[in-house]
């Protein structure tokens, strides 16, 4: 989703930067030979610096998006494991109550306790 989109944008940005550097290297005419070149050069250098800073920020955002995606997957896994644990606790309580009944020979007071345990497990 977002991570792949951002990665694609970073790759395109890097490709653009590389092609721009190639064009600069191929340029025969030095920048200072143009009239008013120093002001233009300064603006170009400032823009290139701003682009570099934005690329670094974008790379940090990509890392952050990856971290968020991993956190989301971990949260989903944690939630699923908690639900499984609750199910296991409920099953354990039912089995323990059944085993206790078998050992004690179905005592009436035990039936009341079992119902309370089941109600507590359902609330969770």
Judge contact between 90 and 121, C-beta under 8 A: yes
Q: Both tokens of residue 64?
A: 């952050």
Angle in degrees, 0-180, between the axes of helices 108-123 and 37-104, rounded to the nearest 10? 170
**pLDDT confidence of 101, banded at 50, 70, 90?**
very high
pLDDT computed for residue 106 by the predictor: 64
Is this prediction's pTM over 0.85? no
pLDDT computed for residue 50 by the predictor: 94
**CA-to-CA distance for 115 and 80, rounded, in angstroms?**
26
Query: Which of 24-28, 36-40, 43-47, 88-92 is predicted least confidently?
Result: 24-28
Domain map (residue ranges) of the chain: 2-23+37-123
> Mean pLDDT score of the chain, rounded to an integer?
80
Q: Both tokens of residue 38?
A: 């120093």
pLDDT for 87 beyond 90: yes
pLDDT computed for residue 51 by the predictor: 93
């Amino acid at each position: 989703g977002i991570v792949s989109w951002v990665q694609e944008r970073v790759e395109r940005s890097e490709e653009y930067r590389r092609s721009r550097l190639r064009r600069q290297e191929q340029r025969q005419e030095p920048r200072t030979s143009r009239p008013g070149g120093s002001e233009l050069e300064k603006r170009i250098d400032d823009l290139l610096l701003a682009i570099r800073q934005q690329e670094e920020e974008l790379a940090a955002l990509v890392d952050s998006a990856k971290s968020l995606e991993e956190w989301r997957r971990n949260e989903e896994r944690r939630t699923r494991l908690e639900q499984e644990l609750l199910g296991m606790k409920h099953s354990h309580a039912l089995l323990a109550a059944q085993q206790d009944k078998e050992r004690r020979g179905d005592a009436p007071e035990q039936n009341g306790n079992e119902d309370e345990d089941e109600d507590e497990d359902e609330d969770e």
